[in-house]
Amino acid sequence: MTKPVTAVATSLVTGRDDIAAVPGHFGWDGGYGTSWRSDPKEDMVVILMTQRAAFPLSSGVYLDFWTSAYQAIDD
């Protein structure tokens, strides 16, 4: 009998990247375009859910979503 395997990985951003201007956010990108980010400095949790196999992280939908999420912050 084969046991199912579950793998979970998160990442912690320690430097400036294309998605967020603030280091310290962490999250996960799934295989079907599901993404989750938690940004403690901005007190923000954001989830993107799509259902498309091999959803490219460089797609317009993905990049526009994260750009819009950070633009919505009202300091």
64 membership: H or E segment, kind and range: helix 60-71
Does residue 56 sit within a domain?
Answer: yes
Residue 6, domain member (yes or no): no
Does some domain include residue 34?
Answer: yes
Using 50, 70 and 90 to split pLDDT, how confident is the model at 31?
Answer: confident
Say if 4 falls within a structural domain: no
In a domain, 26, yes or no: yes
| Count of domains for the chain | 1
Query: What 3-state class would DSSP assign to 46?
Result: strand
Dihedral Cα 5, 47, 75, 59, nearest 10 deg:
100
Q: How confident is the model at residue 34 (pLDDT cuts 50, 70, 90)?
A: confident
Residue 1 lies in a domain: no
57 — pLDDT class (breaks 50, 70, 90): low
* Enclosing domain of residue 32: 11-71
